[in-house]
Amino acid sequence: MSSHPPKADRSDIWVSRLRDHAKRMGEGRGLVVEGRLTRMVGLTLESVGCRAAIGGQCDVVSSNGTHIEAEVVGFGEESLYLMPTGDIRGLEQGARVIPTGSVCEAVVGDHLLGRVIDGAGRPLDGKGGLHADERRPLTGQTFNPLARTPIREPLDVGVRAINALLSVGRGQRLGLFAGSGVGKSVLLGMMTRYTNADVTVVGLIGERGREVKEFVENSLGEEGLKRAVVVAVPADNPPLRRMHGAMLATSIAEYFREQGKHVLLLMDSLTRFAQAQREIALAIHEPPATKGYPPSVFAKLPQLVERAGNGDKGGGSITAFYTVLAEGDDQNDPIADAARAILDGNIVLSRRLAEAGHYPAIDIEASISRAMNEITTYGHQDAARSFKHLYSLYQQNRDLISVGAYEQGSDEQIDIAIAAMPALTEFLRQDMRTPVNLRESLETLEALFPSEPEVEMPGDLPLQPADHV
């Protein structure tokens, strides 16, 4: 008896096999040419034998079972340069490098509200897994700048000095500039709690790991977290993961903007994002240009920042605050200087004020909001200019006044500034636990500098006693 199946059965088997093969061909990517790992210096992996596009993902698999994900960040004549997105322990020479044909994507959706995730979109809060509502490229999409909705509406941030003297518009992008330890995170926390926004997206990029839990519990709180998304990528993460964290936070904010929501994006810090790009660029032999920063760093900054702001369809907005670390309190640090040029304003924090117990330690003279004239009344602008005029006049003569070298009556304007200084200083101070809304801020400023039709010069504006603050 023949052991072969009947001819009809053999036909069914071949049809089934062909169907399965066609299905695999339709789902697959065809032939995948693998490479091998030839060199590793620092965190840079070098492979030969395969091809992949910049930004493409590769799996690196060792014979001992170690498996990591890496992204193509550069290439040479025969080599690909890869940067890992996770731990590289156990990786060995000659490991297989397998291009996946995919790129890093952001998982976005309403399910992210109330969650804390890492730079890869994985949950850190122990509240279970996340399902993908929608995926989009981490790099975002640019749109016609002429289609952007103009900044026309003021935004209440709950900080009197900012509301009154550095007014913020909905859709504006500002930087908090300061050295270490002068209150950037505290001020950021105040604005997180008190700003009127539908959704808050927080990117904690490259900062200390202990700050993540403190920010979630102390700055956001249980109620604040319900309408917030936190992307946490501490300093011990690889540089590529830190960059991905900043881009992921921006992608999430873009998603909610497209839903017509007003989003508050807080990123701490923009400097750590730039430093991560510097690490990657130097590792693949890009020459440094300005104080150790390669040119690609200054190209990446506007690509990230320009994604925030008002959209091109109206309705939603992203108001963004980026902290910028001025190394050694140097406001001309390359990253601080570049950020100042591409942002819509800067709020500078002073170490001298912080050491004197003046909080928030905002240096009013060095700070500016470029959208203020578009969102405030003429009376408000006059009062703010009057405040800055008297405050700056006192600071310019501060040393003479302190040592008693200035004689009262020598200059009428300086006399007014000296009399006004206690009220001005009290106006700028605010307890971090006490919000001051926009209306209260303007009423207090107008009490100091009432708007009068005949007044033209800031120095001529009458000043009210300090008890009006």
**Domain-embedded: residue 167:** yes
Confidence at residue 220, expressed as pLDDT on a 0 to 100 scale: 82
Cis peptide upstream of residue 422 (ω within 30 degrees of 0): no
- 187 and 250 share a domain? yes
Q: What CATH number should be reported for the domain holding residue 98?
A: 2.40.10.170
Contact call for residues 449 and 386 (beta carbons, < 8 A)? yes
DSSP string, 111-168: GGTTEEE-TTS-B-SSS-----SEEEETT-----GGGSPP--SEE--S-HHHHHHS-E
**Domain-embedded: residue 288:** yes
Confidence at residue 457, expressed as pLDDT on a 0 to 100 scale: 39
Arithmetic mean of pLDDT, 182-197: 85
> What three-state secondary structure class fits 235?
coil
φ, ψ of residue 420 in degrees (nearest 5): -85, -20
Mean of the per-residue pLDDT values of the chain: 85
**Domain-embedded: residue 280:** yes
> How many alpha carbons lie under 13 Å from residue 224 in its C-beta half-sphere?
20
Cβ-proximal residues to 452 (8 Å cutoff; 6+ apart), any chain: 461, 462
- 385 and 372 share a domain? no
Percent share of the chain, pLDDT over 90: 44
Arithmetic mean of pLDDT, 458-469: 42
**Domain-embedded: residue 3:** no
- 166 and 215 share a domain? yes
- 79 and 166 share a domain? no
Q: What CATH number should be reported for the domain holding residue 206?
A: 3.40.50.12240
Position with higher pLDDT, 424 vs 269? 424
> What three-state secondary structure class fits 177?
strand
As a whole number of angstroms, the distance between CA 117 and CA 108 comes to: 12
Assign 97 a pLDDT band (cuts: 50, 70, 90).
very high
**Domain-embedded: residue 318:** yes
Count of domains in the chain?
3
**22-52: per-residue pLDDT in tens?**
665 655 555 678 889 998 888 889 999 888 8
**Domain-embedded: residue 463:** no
Q: Which domain holds residue 393?
A: 380-448
**375-434: per-residue pLDDT in tens?**
999 999 999 999 999 999 999 998 888 888 888 888 889 899 999 999 999 999 999 889
Other C-beta atoms within 10 Å of 267: how many? 29
Arithmetic mean of pLDDT, 443-456: 71
**Domain-embedded: residue 30:** no
- 70 and 143 share a domain? no
User: Beta-strand (E) ranges in 85-121?
Assistant: 96-103, 105-108, 115-117
Q: Is the pLDDT reported for residue 439 higher than 50?
A: yes
* Start-to-end CA span in the chain (Å): 107
Confidence at residue 465, expressed as pLDDT on a 0 to 100 scale: 41
- 188 and 262 share a domain? yes
- 91 and 185 share a domain? no
Confidence at residue 453, expressed as pLDDT on a 0 to 100 scale: 46
Q: DSSP secondary-structure letter at 220?
A: I
- 400 and 353 share a domain? no
- 165 and 310 share a domain? yes
Confidence at residue 295, expressed as pLDDT on a 0 to 100 scale: 93
- 325 and 355 share a domain? yes
- 304 and 405 share a domain? no
Confidence at residue 1, expressed as pLDDT on a 0 to 100 scale: 47
**334-358: per-residue pLDDT in tens?**
899 999 999 999 999 998 898 888 8
- Which of the residue ranges 85-89, 236-240, 453-457 has the most confident prediction, judged by mean pLDDT? 236-240
- 205 and 75 share a domain? no
Confidence at residue 6, expressed as pLDDT on a 0 to 100 scale: 57
Assign 7 a pLDDT band (cuts: 50, 70, 90).
low
**98-155: per-residue pLDDT in tens?**
998 888 888 898 999 999 999 888 899 888 888 767 888 888 877 788 888 899 999 9
